[in-house]
Structure 1
Amino acid sequence: MSNNDLTEVLGLDGEERYDYFLSQVGEDREIWILVNAENLFLKISSEEEGVEYLPVWPASAFAQEYAKDAEDLSPKSIPLPDFFRKWVPGLTKDGVEVGVLPGLDKTVWITEAEELKRDLQDAMSDF
Protein backbone atom coordinates (compact mmCIF):
# COMPACT_ATOMS: atom_id res chain seq x y z
CA MET A 1 0.00 0.00 0.00
CA SER A 2 1.43 3.36 -0.98
CA ASN A 3 1.73 6.27 1.43
CA ASN A 4 -0.82 8.17 -0.65
CA ASP A 5 -3.36 5.34 -0.31
CA LEU A 6 -2.68 5.12 3.40
CA THR A 7 -3.09 8.87 3.92
CA GLU A 8 -6.22 8.93 1.79
CA VAL A 9 -7.93 6.22 3.87
CA LEU A 10 -6.77 7.71 7.17
CA GLY A 11 -8.19 11.07 6.06
CA LEU A 12 -11.71 9.68 5.64
CA ASP A 13 -14.31 10.37 8.31
CA GLY A 14 -15.00 7.77 11.01
CA GLU A 15 -17.94 6.12 9.27
CA GLU A 16 -16.09 5.85 5.95
CA ARG A 17 -13.05 4.35 7.70
CA TYR A 18 -15.35 1.86 9.47
CA ASP A 19 -16.85 0.77 6.15
CA TYR A 20 -13.36 0.48 4.63
CA PHE A 21 -12.26 -1.63 7.62
CA LEU A 22 -15.24 -3.98 7.25
CA SER A 23 -14.62 -4.55 3.53
CA GLN A 24 -10.86 -5.10 3.94
CA VAL A 25 -11.17 -7.44 6.92
CA GLY A 26 -14.05 -9.26 5.25
CA GLU A 27 -11.78 -9.95 2.31
CA ASP A 28 -8.47 -10.63 4.12
CA ARG A 29 -9.97 -12.42 7.15
CA GLU A 30 -7.54 -10.87 9.65
CA ILE A 31 -7.44 -7.96 12.08
CA TRP A 32 -4.29 -6.12 13.12
CA ILE A 33 -3.47 -4.89 16.61
CA LEU A 34 -0.34 -3.43 18.21
CA VAL A 35 1.67 -5.33 20.81
CA ASN A 36 4.71 -4.41 22.89
CA ALA A 37 7.90 -6.42 23.48
CA GLU A 38 6.11 -8.55 26.11
CA ASN A 39 3.38 -9.35 23.55
CA LEU A 40 0.82 -7.32 25.52
CA PHE A 41 -1.72 -5.58 23.31
CA LEU A 42 -2.23 -1.84 23.18
CA LYS A 43 -5.37 -0.73 25.01
CA ILE A 44 -6.35 2.92 25.17
CA SER A 45 -8.26 4.51 28.03
CA SER A 46 -10.22 7.62 27.21
CA GLU A 47 -11.05 9.36 30.46
CA GLU A 48 -12.96 11.97 28.48
CA GLU A 49 -15.27 9.34 26.98
CA GLY A 50 -15.08 7.01 29.97
CA VAL A 51 -14.18 4.00 27.83
CA GLU A 52 -11.31 1.59 27.30
CA TYR A 53 -10.80 0.30 23.79
CA LEU A 54 -8.61 -1.94 21.70
CA PRO A 55 -7.52 -0.08 18.53
CA VAL A 56 -7.71 -2.33 15.43
CA TRP A 57 -6.63 -1.94 11.81
CA PRO A 58 -7.40 -3.76 8.54
CA ALA A 59 -3.73 -4.07 7.51
CA SER A 60 -0.25 -3.99 9.02
CA ALA A 61 0.62 -0.72 7.24
CA PHE A 62 -2.10 1.19 9.13
CA ALA A 63 -0.95 -0.16 12.50
CA GLN A 64 2.68 0.66 11.65
CA GLU A 65 1.72 4.21 10.69
CA TYR A 66 -0.17 4.65 13.98
CA ALA A 67 2.82 3.38 16.00
CA LYS A 68 5.57 5.16 14.03
CA ASP A 69 6.55 7.31 17.03
CA ALA A 70 6.37 4.45 19.56
CA GLU A 71 9.54 2.40 19.71
CA ASP A 72 8.15 -0.63 21.51
CA LEU A 73 4.96 -1.32 19.52
CA SER A 74 4.71 -3.65 16.54
CA PRO A 75 1.77 -4.89 14.44
CA LYS A 76 0.37 -8.34 15.11
CA SER A 77 -2.18 -10.19 13.01
CA ILE A 78 -5.19 -11.93 14.54
CA PRO A 79 -6.97 -14.37 12.23
CA LEU A 80 -10.67 -13.52 12.13
CA PRO A 81 -11.83 -16.91 13.52
CA ASP A 82 -9.56 -16.35 16.56
CA PHE A 83 -10.89 -12.82 16.97
CA PHE A 84 -14.48 -14.11 16.93
CA ARG A 85 -13.83 -17.13 19.17
CA LYS A 86 -11.37 -15.72 21.73
CA TRP A 87 -11.12 -11.95 21.56
CA VAL A 88 -14.79 -10.92 21.29
CA PRO A 89 -15.86 -12.87 24.42
CA GLY A 90 -12.76 -11.67 26.33
CA LEU A 91 -13.22 -8.02 25.39
CA THR A 92 -16.93 -8.20 26.21
CA LYS A 93 -16.23 -9.82 29.58
CA ASP A 94 -13.61 -7.17 30.43
CA GLY A 95 -15.81 -4.27 29.28
CA VAL A 96 -13.28 -3.24 26.62
CA GLU A 97 -14.68 -1.83 23.41
CA VAL A 98 -13.05 -1.75 19.97
CA GLY A 99 -11.67 1.38 18.30
CA VAL A 100 -11.78 0.82 14.55
CA LEU A 101 -9.07 2.33 12.35
CA PRO A 102 -8.05 5.53 14.16
CA GLY A 103 -7.73 8.44 11.71
CA LEU A 104 -5.17 11.15 11.11
CA ASP A 105 -7.39 13.55 13.06
CA LYS A 106 -7.19 11.15 16.06
CA THR A 107 -10.89 10.33 15.83
CA VAL A 108 -11.87 6.69 16.15
CA TRP A 109 -15.09 4.73 15.65
CA ILE A 110 -15.70 2.96 18.98
CA THR A 111 -18.05 0.00 19.05
CA GLU A 112 -18.81 -3.03 21.19
CA ALA A 113 -16.91 -6.19 20.24
CA GLU A 114 -20.15 -8.13 19.62
CA GLU A 115 -21.46 -5.41 17.30
CA LEU A 116 -18.21 -5.41 15.32
CA LYS A 117 -18.42 -9.19 15.03
CA ARG A 118 -21.96 -8.95 13.61
CA ASP A 119 -20.93 -6.21 11.16
CA LEU A 120 -17.93 -8.26 10.02
CA GLN A 121 -20.07 -11.36 9.56
CA ASP A 122 -22.46 -9.30 7.42
CA ALA A 123 -19.54 -7.92 5.39
CA MET A 124 -18.11 -11.41 4.86
CA SER A 125 -21.37 -12.57 3.36
CA ASP A 126 -20.55 -10.25 0.43
CA PHE A 127 -17.44 -12.28 -0.43
Structure 2
Amino acid sequence: MSDNPLTQALEMDGEERYDYFLDAVVEEREIWILVNADNHFLKIVSEEDGVAYLPVWPSAEFATDYAKGSGDLSPKAISLPDFFKKWVPGLTRDGLEIGVFPGGQGELWITAPEELKGDLQEVLAGPSF
Protein backbone atom coordinates (compact mmCIF):
# COMPACT_ATOMS: atom_id res chain seq x y z
CA MET A 1 0.00 0.00 0.00
CA SER A 2 1.12 3.50 -0.77
CA ASP A 3 1.39 6.42 1.67
CA ASN A 4 -0.59 8.57 -0.76
CA PRO A 5 -4.31 8.54 0.22
CA LEU A 6 -5.26 9.01 -3.44
CA THR A 7 -3.29 5.94 -4.51
CA GLN A 8 -4.50 3.96 -1.49
CA ALA A 9 -8.15 4.63 -2.30
CA LEU A 10 -7.69 3.80 -5.97
CA GLU A 11 -6.09 0.47 -5.04
CA MET A 12 -9.24 -0.60 -3.14
CA ASP A 13 -11.72 -2.93 -4.80
CA GLY A 14 -15.10 -1.64 -5.99
CA GLU A 15 -16.95 -2.37 -2.75
CA GLU A 16 -14.26 -0.79 -0.54
CA ARG A 17 -14.25 2.32 -2.75
CA TYR A 18 -18.05 2.45 -2.52
CA ASP A 19 -17.89 2.45 1.29
CA TYR A 20 -15.09 5.03 1.22
CA PHE A 21 -17.23 7.18 -1.11
CA LEU A 22 -20.29 6.99 1.17
CA ASP A 23 -18.30 8.02 4.26
CA ALA A 24 -16.44 10.85 2.48
CA VAL A 25 -19.58 12.25 0.83
CA VAL A 26 -21.55 12.22 4.08
CA GLU A 27 -18.66 13.98 5.83
CA GLU A 28 -18.21 16.67 3.15
CA ARG A 29 -21.90 16.86 2.13
CA GLU A 30 -21.05 16.98 -1.57
CA ILE A 31 -20.58 14.75 -4.59
CA TRP A 32 -18.16 15.55 -7.40
CA ILE A 33 -18.76 15.12 -11.12
CA LEU A 34 -16.79 16.17 -14.20
CA VAL A 35 -18.09 18.79 -16.61
CA ASN A 36 -16.75 20.09 -19.92
CA ALA A 37 -16.30 23.71 -20.99
CA ASP A 38 -20.03 23.89 -21.88
CA ASN A 39 -20.93 22.70 -18.36
CA HIS A 40 -22.23 19.36 -19.69
CA PHE A 41 -21.57 16.51 -17.30
CA LEU A 42 -19.46 13.51 -18.26
CA LYS A 43 -21.56 10.46 -19.11
CA ILE A 44 -19.96 7.11 -19.86
CA VAL A 45 -21.50 4.22 -21.76
CA SER A 46 -20.00 0.86 -20.87
CA GLU A 47 -18.70 -0.97 -23.93
CA GLU A 48 -19.41 -4.36 -22.35
CA ASP A 49 -23.11 -4.07 -21.55
CA GLY A 50 -24.16 -0.68 -22.94
CA VAL A 51 -25.08 0.71 -19.51
CA ALA A 52 -24.93 4.52 -19.42
CA TYR A 53 -23.80 6.05 -16.15
CA LEU A 54 -22.76 9.28 -14.47
CA PRO A 55 -19.34 8.85 -12.82
CA VAL A 56 -19.15 10.43 -9.34
CA TRP A 57 -16.28 10.96 -6.90
CA PRO A 58 -15.94 11.78 -3.19
CA SER A 59 -13.62 14.76 -3.77
CA ALA A 60 -12.33 17.15 -6.42
CA GLU A 61 -8.88 15.54 -6.11
CA PHE A 62 -10.14 12.13 -7.29
CA ALA A 63 -12.22 13.63 -10.11
CA THR A 64 -9.24 15.70 -11.28
CA ASP A 65 -6.99 12.64 -11.18
CA TYR A 66 -9.48 10.69 -13.32
CA ALA A 67 -9.75 13.54 -15.84
CA LYS A 68 -6.03 14.17 -16.30
CA GLY A 69 -5.10 13.99 -19.94
CA SER A 70 -8.65 14.61 -21.12
CA GLY A 71 -8.19 18.34 -21.63
CA ASP A 72 -11.46 20.16 -21.08
CA LEU A 73 -12.98 18.29 -18.11
CA SER A 74 -13.07 19.94 -14.71
CA PRO A 75 -14.54 18.87 -11.35
CA LYS A 76 -17.82 20.34 -10.17
CA ALA A 77 -19.39 19.90 -6.73
CA ILE A 78 -23.03 19.02 -6.21
CA SER A 79 -24.38 19.56 -2.71
CA LEU A 80 -26.03 16.51 -1.17
CA PRO A 81 -29.49 18.16 -0.89
CA ASP A 82 -29.23 19.21 -4.56
CA PHE A 83 -28.19 15.69 -5.52
CA PHE A 84 -31.16 14.16 -3.67
CA LYS A 85 -33.71 16.71 -4.92
CA LYS A 86 -32.67 17.31 -8.53
CA TRP A 87 -30.09 14.80 -9.72
CA VAL A 88 -31.59 11.53 -8.46
CA PRO A 89 -35.01 12.14 -10.09
CA GLY A 90 -33.35 13.49 -13.26
CA LEU A 91 -30.95 10.57 -13.64
CA THR A 92 -33.74 8.09 -12.93
CA ARG A 93 -35.96 9.77 -15.54
CA ASP A 94 -33.13 9.69 -18.10
CA GLY A 95 -32.38 6.02 -17.39
CA LEU A 96 -28.84 6.76 -16.19
CA GLU A 97 -27.11 4.71 -13.53
CA ILE A 98 -24.36 6.08 -11.26
CA GLY A 99 -20.77 4.83 -11.49
CA VAL A 100 -19.41 5.35 -7.99
CA PHE A 101 -15.79 6.44 -7.69
CA PRO A 102 -14.18 5.19 -10.92
CA GLY A 103 -10.42 5.25 -11.16
CA GLY A 104 -7.41 3.04 -11.31
CA GLN A 105 -7.85 -0.30 -13.02
CA GLY A 106 -10.22 -1.74 -10.44
CA GLU A 107 -13.81 -2.68 -10.97
CA LEU A 108 -16.51 -0.04 -10.79
CA TRP A 109 -19.58 -0.09 -8.55
CA ILE A 110 -22.58 0.88 -10.70
CA THR A 111 -25.86 1.51 -8.91
CA ALA A 112 -29.28 3.03 -9.48
CA PRO A 113 -29.63 6.68 -8.35
CA GLU A 114 -32.34 5.77 -5.80
CA GLU A 115 -30.13 3.03 -4.31
CA LEU A 116 -27.20 5.43 -3.86
CA LYS A 117 -29.53 7.99 -2.30
CA GLY A 118 -30.81 5.33 0.12
CA ASP A 119 -27.28 4.23 1.05
CA LEU A 120 -26.19 7.84 1.62
CA GLN A 121 -29.27 8.54 3.75
CA GLU A 122 -28.52 5.43 5.79
CA VAL A 123 -24.97 6.66 6.51
CA LEU A 124 -26.31 10.16 7.24
CA ALA A 125 -28.71 8.69 9.81
CA GLY A 126 -25.77 7.14 11.63
CA PRO A 127 -25.37 3.72 13.18
CA SER A 128 -28.54 2.07 14.46
CA PHE A 129 -27.89 0.27 17.71
Short-chain TM bin:
over 0.9
Aligned residues: 125
Give the structure 2 partner of residue 121 of structure 1: 121
Q: TM-score, normalised by structure 2?
A: 0.93
Structure 2 gaps, min length 5 = none
1:27 aligns with 2:27: yes
Aligned equivalents of 1:70, 1:106: Cα separation in 2: 20
Aligned equivalents of 1:122, 1:60: Cα separation in 2: 23
8 A Cα contact 2:14 2:106, kept in partner: no
Give the structure 2 partner of residue 102 of structure 1: 102
Deviations 1:7-55 (A, max 9, x none): 0001100000000000000111100000000000000011312200000
**% identity of equivalent residues:** 65
Structure 1 gaps, min length 5 = none
Q: Over aligned residue pairs, what C-alpha RMSD do you find?
A: 1.3
8 A Cα contact 1:14 1:103, kept in partner: no
Following TM superposition, where does structure 1 have runs of at least 4 consecutive aligned residues deviating by more than 2 angstroms?
none
Task: Look up the SS of the partner of 2:93 in the other structure.
Answer: helix
8 A Cα contact 1:12 1:103, kept in partner: no
